[in-house]
Amino acid sequence: MKWNKLTIETTTAAEDMLSYELTEMGMEGVEIEDHVPLSEEDRKIMYVDLLPDEIAPDDGRARVSCYVDEKEDLDQVVEKIRAKIEELRAFLPMGSGEIYFDVTQEEDWINNWKVFFKPFRLDDNIVIKPSWETLEDQKEDDIIVEIDPGTAFGSGSHETTKLCISMLKKYVKPGASLLDVGTGSGILSIIGLKLGAGHASATDIDPNAIRASEENFEMNHVTADQVDICQVNILDPDQASEVAMVNGSVKYDLIVANILADVIIPLSGLVKPLLKEGGIFIASGIINTMEEAVKEAVLANGLELLEVNHMKDWVGLAATIK
């Protein structure tokens, strides 16, 4: 099925109301593009961090897109949208209100990204493979991880994930218990288990991540007795006790967090009671401009740095109880 994509040039002040009105008119797949910085709550839910050169300045402009079934009378739809724009213009700055047109296939909305996700080697023997691809150069000692990221972060290709995985390879011992904070796609829990961990507890604040992780655990034949998964915010005092007991144990051999610096800093104050004696805290998702702040927080919270690693503009570290 083909869909007509309509994109409207407007302003950030009008984007929410225009999006609402388009939805009320029956438009499908309403999307907003702007340069408004993410709120603190958005950052916590999405678990993202951005490099300064990835953030364009907020210029007050926005683009709102929607999709119209090809069977609909496009001229009539456009006329209705233009009328609504003029109606809103009476009390909101609407910008130019120009409408641009494109055509897309229904399956493109979800599946186009799959074209760009191919099997790749993280190192000598860890291979990330999407479920729909075939691995051509498998070696005898390869650890194969099948990942379909879907709407959750974590295909393994990002530098922060690679930093975490390199340290997991170093510190995971046979039978170890692992707490994966901000699990995303579940990739770090899966790799930890394939490296010999006995149990993983995966947590995330995002329900999309929980669903994606459950699917990826099943795809990688991770059994129910190997993993617990819980939608929880470890930074919320009312929920923190759930993390301590999620796998029936109050302490872990390893805690891994591939999130962002603003979360890792307060998290570093919570991990010590959750770690066994000699346990390891692994963290990445840290932009290099936040490296010193994270290290200071780790040290201030009674942990000892074991190593600090860099990959492009990103930083990963490992620490233990003093």
Same domain, 217 and 296: yes
Same domain, 167 and 79: no
Give the per-residue pLDDT at 240: 63
Percent pLDDT > 70 in the chain is 83
Q: Which of 256, 295, 296 is nearest to 275 (CA)?
A: 256
Contact 213, 148 (CB under 8 A): no
Domain end, chosen from 88, 112, 136, is at 112
d(CA 178, CA 164) in angstroms, rounded, equals 13
| Burial zone of 179 (CB within 10 Å; 0-12 exposed, 13-18 middle, 19+ buried) | buried
Cβ count within 10 A of residue 175: 10
Same domain, 175 and 81: no
d(CA 156, CA 188) in angstroms, rounded, equals 9
Give the per-residue pLDDT at 152: 41
Contact 31, 65 (CB under 8 A): yes
Same domain, 49 and 161: no
Give the CA radius of gyration of the chain: 23
Same domain, 160 and 105: no
Cβ count within 10 A of residue 139: 11
DSSP string covering 241-299: HHHHHTTS-S-EEEEEEES-HHHHHHHTTTSGGGEEEEEEEEEEEEEGGGHHHHHHHHH
Give the per-residue pLDDT at 216: 92
CATH value at residue 253: 3.40.50.150
Is residue 140 in some structural domain?
A: no
* 131-151 tens-digit pLDDT: 778 887 888 889 999 986 554
Long-range contacts of the stretch 48-52 (C-beta < 8 A, 24+): 48/153, 48/260, 49/260, 49/261, 49/262, 49/285, 49/286, 49/287, 51/287, 51/313, 52/289
Domain end, chosen from 83, 112, 141, is at 112
305 bridge partner residues: 319
d(CA 81, CA 294) in angstroms, rounded, equals 49
d(CA 117, CA 129) in angstroms, rounded, equals 8
pLDDT at 300 over 60: yes
Q: What's the CA angle centered on 258, arms 187 and 195, to 5 degrees?
A: 40
Q: What is the extent of the structural domain holding 72?
A: 2-112
Give the per-residue pLDDT at 139: 85
Is residue 127 in some structural domain?
A: no
Phi, psi of 186 (to 5 degrees): 85, 5
CATH value at residue 37: 3.30.70.120
Give the per-residue pLDDT at 106: 55
Same domain, 197 and 78: no
Same domain, 188 and 300: yes
4 bridge partner residues: 68, 103
Percent pLDDT > 90 in the chain is 45
Same domain, 208 and 275: yes
Q: Number of folded domains in the chain?
A: 2
pLDDT at 97 over 80: yes
Element (H, E) at 305: strand 303-311
Give the per-residue pLDDT at 264: 94
Is residue 244 in some structural domain?
A: yes
At 1, is the pLDDT very low, low, confident or very high (cuts 50, 70, 90)? low
